[in-house]
Chains A and B, each alone.
Chain A
Amino acid sequence: MRNFLDFEQPIAELEGKIEELRHLADTGEVNIADEVGKLQTKVDRLITTTYAKLTPWQKVQVARHPDRPHFKNYVSRMFTDYQPLSGDRSFADDHAILGGIGRFRGRSCVVIGHEKGGDTQARIKHNFGMARPEGYRKAQRLMELAERFQLPVITLVDTPGAYPGVGAEERGQSEAIARSIELCLNIRVPLVATIIGEGGSGGAIALAAGDAVFMLENSVYSVISPEGCASILWRSAEEAQTAAEALRLTAQDLEKLKVIDRVIKEPVGGAHREPDEAVDKVSDEIEAALTDLCAMEPGALRARRREKFLAMGRHGLS
């Protein structure tokens, strides 16, 4: 069963009709090839027009879509000889941030990212992609490993934010995030970050201070969730749509603000319609970036990364 978002209901209805007709055809009652063809053209057009003008709030919904490809989907399609690595060597293994080493289009790389989980059980296991300090410390360990062996780092960001819990605070959530950002900025190997779904605040930037930062077309990246922002600034969670607009959290706005380097096009109708195609598009961009970045001298690479972030925010939206 496919999951449909609220604004996708007209699409769902048309596709439901097509499904019904196909079912009738299977039973041999009617010949409906023409009708199906017409409806298919109509639904294709509807998907294209709907997705061409998504509001920021709708993009938030798409970014959080349960069928959207997650870390594990990316890794299984992108890497060969993939070996997951576990644990922060200090306290635990966090399941909200996964990582490992594998071969990406021939090149050995370290990959780190948030995993939200694909079904209810997995979502609980992965804590909905909300990492505790152990997750960030595992990420640090893997970045250090990458640097030791001069391997590029690929990060895939998809988190509502760092987990707000008693244990997480007790074990230094702030320090863990701060240290992760520091390491991203420090390592002398290329770091390519892609926001594949939700880029939630500190929990996202902890893995995203990279040489190249990409965002999928319908992903979002923000200092606070629209719901959180609405309840603080508007004193009403109902205003989340308004907050989503005010926050400028879409990939398109972030590119204008020069906070990200590139927007990666999604398949028509969003990454959840054609997950493999979405993963391939992301892979192509990462590969191109790595080719350039791996040719750079490590010191120059690091200096350029730091200058890029220092220059950020010195101008607003024009």
Chain B
Amino acid sequence: MSWLERYVRPKIKALVGAKPEVPDNLWHKCDNCGQMIFHRDLVANHHVCQHCNHHMRLPAEQRLEMLFDDGEYDRAELPKTPLDPLKFRDRKRYSDRLKEAQSKQDTKTANKDAIIVAHGKMEGRAVVVAAFDFSFMGGSMGVAVGEGIVTAAHLAVFQQAPLIIIPATGGARMQEGILSLMQMPRTVIAVQEVKEAGLPFFVLLTDPTTGGVSASFAMLGDIHIAEPGAVIGFAGRRVIEQTVKETLPDGFQTAEYLLEHGMVDIVAPRTQIRPTIIRLISLLMDGKPVDMAEASSDKDAAEGDLDIPDSAESGPDKT
């Protein structure tokens, strides 16, 4: 969509009048239960269906707003990476695909690629978050995304802050060929640096987390939290079906399935993710005994006003 279309089209629609039965900007249909949800309710409910609790994909920006105190955060500037390093062309030029994806992004928050690196506070403590943007070429990981994760890791070490990465991705960016495969070792090194600095590394697995992303940093977190129903796995469903020629078990590759098979620690509903991470950060980093009277005066330890130690040295040594 061009700049012109983006700004003019809604007005044209308003003049012509969108289809009166279901104005698509007002109602959403749940892709799980098929029920209609009023747009305002959907936003208030963080894109979780109020009828069936289905967790729909949440845009990266809204994800970040949900995590940080008062929804406020700063975006880290990401280093420039070569655009279309292989001069790749399938039915379309990759450089055109990139431009198209970039033009669809909100100009205020243009990401340039499928990742946003943000830093801010969670319960008053500095935290770095790298969130994949699934709407940008399926959240696929190429050099720019890899560079985003390396940047996020460096920033976390610099700020002595925990790192949270939120994948929402189909895997490697095929159009960057071997260079996208090389993002697997690169991102593994990045998160290792965070762990070696004694800082917690959380992975929040959202729908979907597959392929080369799931087979690299996303399975190396200190703690893995997944959203209900999220598809998480190495190989795609179709590829498996074609290979093994058998029906896949119920709930195959869902967050719950991974929990049962020992690959994630927690499956948490969207609204519980922020308090869960806050509680875990405190437990991991504030290892010294706290004033129990004060802590228990608050119902939820995560919301408690715990002493923040002066350095990360009190955290567990992860090397």
Chain A residues proximal to chain B, CB less than 8 Å: 162-166, 168-175, 177-179, 181-182, 184-186, 201-202, 204-206, 209, 221-224, 228-229, 232-235, 242-243, 246-249, 254, 257, 259, 306, 309-310, 312-317
- Say whether A165 contacts B240, CB under 8 Å: yes
- Say whether B240 contacts A166, CB under 8 Å: yes
Other CB < 8 Å A-B pairs besides A182-B220, A316-B82, 16 of them? A166-B244, A170-B261, A172-B263, A178-B219, A178-B220, A181-B185, A181-B215, A182-B192, A204-B181, A205-B185, A222-B178, A223-B176, A257-B85, A310-B186, A310-B190, A314-B81
- Say whether A316 contacts B261, CB under 8 Å: no
- Say whether A312 contacts B179, CB under 8 Å: yes
- Say whether B246 contacts A313, CB under 8 Å: no
Determine the chain B residues whose CB is within 8 A of the CB of A315 once the complex forms. Answer: 82, 85
CB of B169 within 8 Å of the partner chain: no
Residue in contact with B174 in the complex, picked from A172, A221, A232, A259, CB distance below 8 Å: A232
Determine the chain B residues whose CB is within 8 A of the CB of A179 once the complex forms. Answer: 219-220
- Say whether A178 contacts B172, CB under 8 Å: no
Q: Which residue of B lies closest to A235 (CB)?
A: B91
Distance of A165 Cα from B252 Cα, bound (Å): 11
- Say whether A312 contacts B182, CB under 8 Å: yes
- Say whether B182 contacts A185, CB under 8 Å: no
- Say whether A178 contacts B188, CB under 8 Å: yes
The size of the chain B interface, using a CB distance under 8 A, is: 58
CB of B288 within 8 Å of the partner chain: no
Determine the chain B residues whose CB is within 8 A of the CB of A313 once the complex forms. Answer: 81-82, 85, 143, 146, 176, 179, 182-183, 186
Q: Which residue of A lies closest to B257 (CB)?
A: A170
- Say whether B188 contacts A182, CB under 8 Å: yes
Determine the chain A residues whose CB is within 8 A of the CB of B263 once the complex forms. Answer: 172, 174-175
Output the least CB separation between B259 and chain A (Å): 12
- Say whether B261 contacts A310, CB under 8 Å: no
- Say whether B212 contacts A223, CB under 8 Å: yes
Q: Top 3 A-B pairs ranked by shortest CB distance?
A: A316-B85, A164-B235, A233-B90
Residue in contact with A205 in the complex, picked from B85, B150, B184, B219, CB distance below 8 Å: B184
Contact with A along B189-215 (1 / 0, CB 8 A): 110100000000000000000011011
Known contacts being A165-B243, A169-B240, A222-B178, is A175 close to B252, with CB within 8 Å?
A: no
Chain B residues proximal to chain A, CB less than 8 Å: 81-82, 84-91, 143, 146-147, 150, 172, 174-186, 188-190, 192, 211-212, 214-220, 232-236, 239-240, 243-244, 246, 248-249, 252-253, 261-263
Output the least CB separation between B115 and chain A (Å): 15
Q: Which residue of B lies closest to A180 (CB)?
A: B215
A/B interface sample: 20 pairs, CB < 8 A: A164-B244, A166-B248, A168-B235, A172-B261, A178-B188, A181-B184, A181-B216, A182-B192, A186-B192, A201-B212, A202-B181, A209-B188, A224-B174, A229-B174, A233-B174, A306-B189, A313-B81, A314-B147, A316-B85, A317-B86
- Say whether B188 contacts A312, CB under 8 Å: no
Determine the chain A residues whose CB is within 8 A of the CB of B192 once the complex forms. Answer: 182, 185-186
- Say whether B219 contacts A185, CB under 8 Å: no
Residue in contact with A177 in the complex, picked from B234, B243, B261, CB distance below 8 Å: B234
Distance of A173 Cα from B215 Cα, bound (Å): 7
- Say whether B186 contacts A246, CB under 8 Å: no
- Say whether A202 contacts B234, CB under 8 Å: yes
Distance of A205 Cα from B177 Cα, bound (Å): 13
Output the least CB separation between B220 and chain A (Å): 5
Determine the chain A residues whose CB is within 8 A of the CB of B89 once the complex forms. Answer: 246
Known contacts being A171-B261, A172-B262, A309-B186, is A178 close to B218, with CB within 8 Å?
A: yes
Known contacts being A172-B263, A233-B174, A310-B150, is A209 close to B220, with CB within 8 Å?
A: no
Distance of A246 Cα from B234 Cα, bound (Å): 24
Distance of A201 Cα from B181 Cα, bound (Å): 7
Residue in contact with B235 in the complex, picked from A169, A181, A205, A229, CB distance below 8 Å: A169
Residue in contact with A249 in the complex, picked from B87, B178, B216, B239, CB distance below 8 Å: B178
Q: Which residue of B lies closest to A164 (CB)?
A: B235
Determine the chain B residues whose CB is within 8 A of the CB of A185 once the complex forms. Answer: 185, 188-189, 192
- Say whether B253 contacts A248, CB under 8 Å: no
Most central of A163, A168, A182 by chain B CB within 10 Å: A182
Output the least CB separation between B84 and chain A (Å): 7
Determine the chain A residues whose CB is within 8 A of the CB of B172 once the complex forms. Answer: 201, 223-224
Distance of A264 Cα from B179 Cα, bound (Å): 21
- Say whether B188 contacts A257, CB under 8 Å: no
- Say whether A259 contacts B189, CB under 8 Å: no
Distance of A229 Cα from B240 Cα, bound (Å): 16
Determine the chain B residues whose CB is within 8 A of the CB of A201 once the complex forms. Answer: 172, 181, 212
Determine the chain B residues whose CB is within 8 A of the CB of A181 once the complex forms. Answer: 184-185, 188, 215-216
Q: Which residue of B lies closest to A232 (CB)?
A: B174
- Say whether A178 contacts B216, CB under 8 Å: yes
- Say whether B233 contacts A174, CB under 8 Å: yes
Distance of A249 Cα from B177 Cα, bound (Å): 8
Residue in contact with A247 in the complex, picked from B177, B211, B233, B262, CB distance below 8 Å: B177
- Say whether A209 contacts B185, CB under 8 Å: yes
Distance of A256 Cα from B239 Cα, bound (Å): 32
Determine the chain A residues whose CB is within 8 A of the CB of B184 once the complex forms. Answer: 178, 181, 202, 205
Q: Which residue of B lies closest to A200 (CB)?
A: B181
- Say whether A164 contacts B189, CB under 8 Å: no
Known contacts being A166-B240, A232-B174, A306-B189, is A314 close to B143, with CB within 8 Å?
A: yes
Output the least CB separation between A163 and chain B (Å): 8
